[in-house]
Amino acid sequence: MLQRILYGVNRRGRALVTGAAEVLLPRRCIVCGRPLLERGETTELCDSCLERVLPLREPLCRICGREMPQGTGTGNLCGNCLQTPPSFTRCRSLFIYNETLRGIILKFKFQRRLEVLKTVLSLARERVPEGFAECDLIVPVPLHKKRLQKRGYNQSLLLAQGFFGHKNGKIVVKLLERTKNTPPQSTLDRRKRAENLQNMFCVCQPQLLVNKRVCLVDDIYTTGATLEECSKTLVKSGACDVFALTLGRTPLGKR
Ligand SMILES: [Zn+2]
Ligand SMILES: [Zn+2]
């Protein structure tokens, strides 16, 4: 509520009111709502929520980055990748998409609470695996332009900037375009998701892709279908290799 009132105040006034509010009203954890007791705390999460932002555990599938049963040797492939290898060569997700990460992403994505990602992004930056920052181009998974207009920002672009730096010149936004404005993947079953995605993306500047290794960035890996569709489109248009990096990944058994 207070946040909403503050949007109406100018910047200086807002800083003053925020300062006063911090003295009078404790800031609250953005996930569970518990007061953040320590003054001057640099995170928006309480300690117990922060502890629940969990990285994926090795061993991971060499291609899609899915968690494999403990005891599996490193460098192996999961059943999906053995059966139908994806068109990307390497995908990694930074954290398990559990209730805590879900709470953070929902606030970030649908309530325009961009500041909620500050802490998670600082953790994420340290965990970007080797080789991803060395890709030639970084491409956030695009939103359809109508949805972009409505939301005002593409969460995947903000994530790419968070992972690789705001001024990273390799981030390109006008290369891949979403041509169909279809319902969000999360509202559809598996078969509908695949239909939903067919010919969903196109490449606007294929000349930029020739012999380039591209790193796609998205918020959540659920079935991998969106990333696969983007990746296929990029490879068809000349990219020599595609990596993918997501903030969250649905845990095993919850797809
Ligand atoms: Zn909390
Ligand atoms: Zn795999």
Q: Can you point out the beta strands (E) in 101-187?
A: 137-140, 176-178
- At 17, list the tokens: 């009111």
Query: What integer pLDDT is reported at residue 37 of this predicted model?
Result: 74
| Ligand at shortest distance from the CA of 224 | 2
Q: Which CATH number applies to 52-249: 3.30.450, 3.30.70, 3.30.530, 3.40.50?
A: 3.40.50
How far apart are the CA of 46 and the centre of ligand 1, in A?
Answer: 4
* Distance of CA 51 from the midpoint of ligand 1 (Å): 9
User: How many Å apart are CA 120 and CA 55, to the nearest integer?
Assistant: 11
User: Can you tell me the distance from the alpha carbon of 85 to that of 137, in angstroms, rounded to the nearest whole number?
Assistant: 23
The domain ranges of the chain are: 1-43, 52-249
pTM, two decimals, is 0.85
Collect all residues with Cβ–Cβ distance below 8 Å to 226 and sequence separation of at least 6.
141, 185, 197, 218
d(CA 58, ligand 1 centre) in Å: 27
Name the one residue in this structure whose structure tokens are 């591209």.
214
Residue 6: predicted pLDDT: 47
Question: What pLDDT score does 248 carry?
Answer: 96
- The 8-class DSSP code of residue 28 comes to B
What local confidence, expressed as pLDDT, does residue 21 receive? 55
Q: Which ligand is nearest to the CA of 50?
A: 1
What value, to the nearest 5°, has the Cα angle with vertex 233 and ends 241 and 82? 60
Q: What is the dihedral of CA 117, 229, 210, 240, to 10 degrees?
A: 90
Q: Digits of tens for pLDDT over the chain (255 positions)?
A: 444 444 455 656 655 555 555 556 778 888 898 888 765 556 788 889 999 999 999 999 999 999 998 888 778 999 999 999 999 999 999 999 999 999 998 888 777 677 778 888 988 999 999 999 999 999 999 999 999 998 888 999 999 999 999 899 999 999 999 998 876 666 777 777 767 777 889 999 999 999 999 999 999 999 899 999 999 999 999 999 999 999 999 987 654
Taking alpha carbons only, the member of 106, 94, 4, 89 closest to residue 56 is 94
220-242: buried (b, 16+ CB within 10 Å) or exposed (e) per residue?
bbbebbbbbbbbbbbbebebebb
The phi, psi pair for 96, rounded to 5°, reads -75, 135
Closest C-alpha to 62, from 148, 131, 155, 112: 131
Give the closest residue to 243 by CA, choosing from 82, 129, 97. 129
Distance 10 CA to ligand 1 centre (A): 30
- Which pLDDT score, from 0 to 100, does residue 74 have? 75
